[in-house]
A and B are shown apart, each in its own frame.
Chain A
Amino acid sequence: LAKTTQPISMDSYEGQEVNITCSHNNIATNDYITWYQQFPSQGPRFIIQGYKTKVTNEVASLFIPADRKSSTLSLPRVSLSDTAVYYCLVGTQEGGKLIFGQGTELSVKP
Chain B
Amino acid sequence: GAVVSQHPSRVICKSGTSVKIECRSLDFQATTMFWYRQFPKQSLMLMATSNEGSKATYEQGVEKDKFLINHASLTLSTLTVTSAHPEDSSFYICSAKQGSGGNTIYFGEGSWLTVV
Chain A residues in the interface with B (C-beta under 8 A): 32, 34, 36, 41-46, 49, 87, 93, 95-103
Contacts and interface: CB of A to CB of B under 8 A. Distances in A.
B93 A32 contact: no
Interface residues of B, number: 26
A101 B43 contact: yes
B32 interface: yes
Interface of B: 4, 6, 32-34, 36, 43-46, 49, 91, 93-97, 103-110, 112
Contacts of A99: 46
Chain A residues touching B, majority SS:
loop
Given A87-B43, A93-B97, A100-B44, A44 B112 contact: no
Given A41-B91, A41-B112, A98 B46 contact: yes
Contacts of B46: 97-100
A45 B106 CA distance: 7
B114 to A, nearest CB: 12
A75 to B, nearest CB: 19
Nearest to B36: A100
